[in-house]
Copies of this chain bind each other. A is one copy, B any other.
Amino acid sequence: MEWTIHCCVTLAALPRSEFLSTRELAELYGLPKEYLSKAMQALSRARLLDKAMGPTGGYRLARPDSDINVLDIVEAIEGRAPLFTGTGLGRRSNERSDEGPDCPLNQVMMRADEAWRKVMREVTIKDLRLSAENKGQGS
């Protein structure tokens, strides 16, 4: 997950006309190409990345890096399911009312989940790019 985000920061630093291939990104970070390939496809399906075919093809951000936040990427890869609720683990068929949205425990878990997402929603790829640039290093 972190590496996919690092790749997006790298793409954000490119001129708008340039694409980077999965192979180039994988080599840059020493990642397995197959791992990265799945992640890039997920980001493309979520319309966070544009894909160009051909020998100079690859990926670029589909919109300005100020308009893509960390949560966008996390949700494109992991989905939007809450971390712990809704697993349906061992759920009885005669569902009890305390297992629904009014369940106090469910409310805690949903609040925790939202707190986690909120932090990631407030940080954009541009923020990460500028932080990396200010430190005088790539992402």
Q: Which residues of A contact B (CB under 8 A)?
A: 1-3, 5-6, 9, 29-32, 35, 70, 74, 83-85, 87, 89-92, 96-98, 102, 104-106, 108-109, 111-113, 115-120, 123, 127-128, 131-132, 135, 137-139
**How many chain copies does the complex carry?**
2
How distant is the Cα of A109 from the Cα of B98 in the complex, in angstroms?
32
On whether A112 and B119 interact (CB within 8 A), knowing A90-B29, A137-B98, the answer reads yes
How distant is the Cα of A137 from the Cα of B98 in the complex, in angstroms?
8
How distant is the Cα of A103 from the Cα of B54 in the complex, in angstroms?
34
B35 near A89 with CB under 8 A, answer yes
Task: Give chain B nearest CB distance to A125 CB in angstroms.
Answer: 10
